[in-house]
Amino acid sequence: MEHMVFFIIGMWKCLPARRRRLFQKRLMAAKRNTAEKYKRVGELLHQHADDDNTWLDGAQGASTFRKKVAATDHLFGHLTHNTKAAASKNGMQELNDNSLEHISNAKRIKINTDDSRHIAALILARGGSKGIPLKNIRMLAGVPLIGWVIRAALDSGVFDSVWVSTDHDEIASVARAWGAQVHRRSPEVSKDSSSSLDTIREFSRLNPGVDVICNIQATSPCLHPHHLKQAVECITKEGCDSVFSVVRRHHFRWQEVKDEGCQCTEPLNLNPACRLRRQDWEGELCENGSFYFATKELVKNGLLQGGKMKYFEMKPEHSVDIDVDIDWPVAEQRVLRFGYFGKDKPEVVKLLLCNLSGCLTDGQIYISANREEMVSINTRDQAGIDMLKKEEVKVIMIEKDPIAKALADKLSQRMSCLILQDVDDKLEKVQELMEEEGLEWKEVAYLGNDEPDVKCLELAGLSAVPVDAPTVALNHAKYICRNAAGHGAVREFAEHILLLKKKAKSQMEQDSICRNTF
């Protein structure tokens, strides 16, 4: 036994600090005491220490991660599928602090409710949308449309697994990048004539271990985790068989009556001789389509609503739907004000790290006849940096390749910020800067543009890439700028940071007023 303990300690010291913290939390939660189980811990530590370079992105990384999670599940009990999805967010199959939060949230709810049923979120995202082609992955306020609801589902912590049902490779790739598992629907339920219920029934049939399905509409970007948390309690605590979201409307409705070619009408919910004022009328409950919880028994019988049934009322500002192109700009403004931007608190961002080449510039270096190096910068980007500095956000530029000292000095002077050159390992350098400044990842914003930036994009509290960045970077950013590198991307991200800080400050003030009132 003593030899085993020394072996574990040795392996423990070989791990990076972040992995060590991860295993410490999981070991404390597991509380395994037998020699055989400690032996398995040692084997897992050894595996992770020796195989540190196998945390890959893309399909290969997903396969590697699933194998490791399967082994860890054997040791630490039946971890939820939601944990795996959360840990694989943005294609990097690497555990982080957010995934640990998903673990604790899901387990806490189940412990409190004594409900051991598997509850899955299912987001339908067919590739053949007629109104707006591939609208499910079109960018809305810098995030793929489907990313808004995936993030809300994962951060709610109430699901054992989060799935996207699709027939399209690109949608599947985006879904995995944002942390969801993918259900490849069959051609039979991918037709224009196929209903949502057909697809849900197929998913239920192929996943018999799922007891409750929550169908979340991909086009509801103002869905928040607290909506799902409150709704799922109707299932787990109140014993409901189905719960669906509604919004209260105050619309006077009329029914069309066709009679021998004459188009007539008659009132449905009003008396024209005695029209009620809005304040005198409670209005009507209308489905807003954000989500539908239903047991597998109901789904099997071709129903999403039935049995012991309950509605969940959402506010009008959170009831957003996108069907046609004209809905898009309205939805974008709404989501910027009322959308859910993740667990990280943007009001605490104190440092922006930005790539010089490929973010501030377009990546090109011009050489004059005198062999002098020149680059092009946008004055809007310079103004964006000034805006951040006024709000006490420090800005540092990072450059992987060395540039002429005279040029670097001129740029540093022009942009009024520090430029770090010849940075080969960006993650290591960023961690050094964070240690010097006494900062945590949630206090860091990162603007990158390529594969070397992936880990920083994943870990930073706020992260972004220009719209012309390679796919490997696009899949790991939390915000995708509409502007290209060297053409206003820095200014756009600066405005995004300040908008979120303003929104968070406003929310904190509202919360303070509420606390003082009650």
Give the residue numbers marked as catalytic.
275
- Tokens in use for 62? 């997903």
Strand partners, 310: 243
CA-to-CA separations, 317 to 27, 410, 487, 501, 508, in angstroms, rounded:
43, 48, 33, 20, 19
CA-to-CA separations, 482 to 222, 457, 468, 489, 496, in angstroms, rounded:
20, 17, 9, 7, 11
Cβ 184 vs Cβ 175: under 8 Å: no
Work out whether the CA dihedral 68, 70, 76, 78 comes out positive or negative: positive
Q: Which of 292, 143, 158 is nearest to 222 (CA)?
A: 143
Please give the Cα distance from 58 to 171 (Å, whole number): 14
Please give the Cα distance from 518 to 514 (Å, whole number): 6
First to last CA, the chain: 57
Instruction: Please report, as a single letter, which amino acid is at residue 202.
Output: E
Cβ 211 vs Cβ 235: under 8 Å: no
- Tokens in use for 289? 């389509």
Q: What is the DSSP letter of 345?
A: -
Cα-Cα-Cα-Cα torsion 302, 305, 308, 309, nearest 10 degrees, comes to 180
Please give the Cα distance from 401 to 267 (Å, whole number): 71
- Tokens in use for 333? 């403004």
